[in-house]
Amino acid sequence: MTTSWRAGVCIIQYVFVPPPPQSSENTLFGMGNPLLDISAVVDKDFLDKFGLKLNDQILAEDKHKALFEEIVKRNKVEYHAGGSTQNSVKIAQWMIQKPQKVATFFGCIGADQFGEILKEKAAEAHVDAHYYEQNVEPTGTCAACITGDNRFMGSVSAGPFVANLAAANCYKKEQHLDLDSNWELVKKAKVYYIAGFFLTVSPESIMKVAKHASDNNKIFCMNLSAPFISQFFKEPLMEVMPYVDILFGNETEAATFAKELGFETDDIAEIANKTQNLPKENTKRQRVVVFTQGKEDTVATVGDEVTMFPVLDIDQNDIVDTNGAGDAFVGGFLSALVQEQALEECIRAGHYAANVIIRRVGCTFPERPDFH
């Protein structure tokens, strides 16, 4: 609304601000390592039996294999569709609400009971999951062991996390991504998101999707995901980097990335700027770099400038589990991105989603978002 005066008469003009564009089915495409998240309350004896400590986040070894069978026999077992990329697209769908199946997800599972539960849970989250199913490895799982010892101020914290990637490591481009019916779903999307973790599984699949996005001036997003990706999978990471339109990461991942590339700075704004200026294939889109820093400001490149965006305040006593915060931030960001919102709005949506998720155990959320 604008107000002006002419000849002593007040003239009020109403400016119509159109609502954001409606998303349609399969607008957002994600590909990664699908895991069935299994959470259950356990006691100290259970942790001791499997050699676990309260804050462990580990990959399953042989001694942990029986853990997954045993934990499902516990009381109050909860299942959720998990894995980094699947978490993010699931949260994007939750933020958008309608229509359903805005997000497509590809990944590999086993032809087993856990795989069937994972399919059910993805469907309940209204994600259009198309899994490659194989018989060699079982469905990947992540056990969240919730312990009574970890109660604080009336809330419950998840204890150790034990992930068994199993089938998630078995994705095959030729057997799944290259199939005409699946590639049609890829082509339908306008925004693509793949976490860096998938570089350890199928870099050739990432390259095919990234090149498609670049050739068609669509938006390809990626995440640094963990320091070990930059350290030990630098070659495939840098092969895909010219196709990355939006790069996510946290402050630790950004510092490791900078060190591996010889940026010779530990200033996060400078790292963001240098990362933005790395070679890029599609010059129609300037690369955007977004680095989160926990409770500190989020750092993002806006045009040629680096800008700081404050996160939402939260009482430290309300924080239950920060493990899903990064995935949630990306999910919120993507929900605004597919609705063609400005970068500032995407970051605001990301901050909101992360703020909701850290108040709960695992990457879970209430029925509806309260985001305006």
Catalytic machinery residues? 327
Contact indicator for 209, 192 with CB cutoff of 8 Å = yes
H/E stretch holding 222: strand 219-223
* Neighbouring C-beta atoms of residue 217, cutoff 10 Å: 11
Residue 102 makes CB contacts below 8 A (sequence gap 6+) with 23, 24, 25, 26, 27, 28, 92, 93, 96, 338
* Phi–psi pair at 308, nearest 5 degrees: -100, 135
Phi, psi values for residue 206, rounded to 5°: -60, -45
* Extended beta strands in 136-218, E state: 141-152, 155-164, 191-195
SS3 177: helix
CA of 288: how far to CAs of 153, 226, 233, 302, 325, in Å? 39, 19, 22, 7, 20
Which residues are within 8 A (CB) of 316 and not within 5 positions of it... i.e. 6 or more apart? Answer: none
Q: Whose CA is closest to 301, among 312, 293, 309?
A: 309
Phi, psi (rounded to 5 degrees) for 119? -60, -45
Strand runs labelled E in 153-217? 155-164, 191-195
Sheet of 191-195: strands edge to edge?
128-134, 103-110, 28-31, 191-195, 219-223, 246-250, 288-293, 296-302, 305-309
C-alpha–C-alpha distance, residues 269 and 254, integer Å: 10
Closest CA to 85 of 116, 108, 51: 108
Contacts of residue 61, Cβ cutoff 8 Å, sequence gap at least 6: none
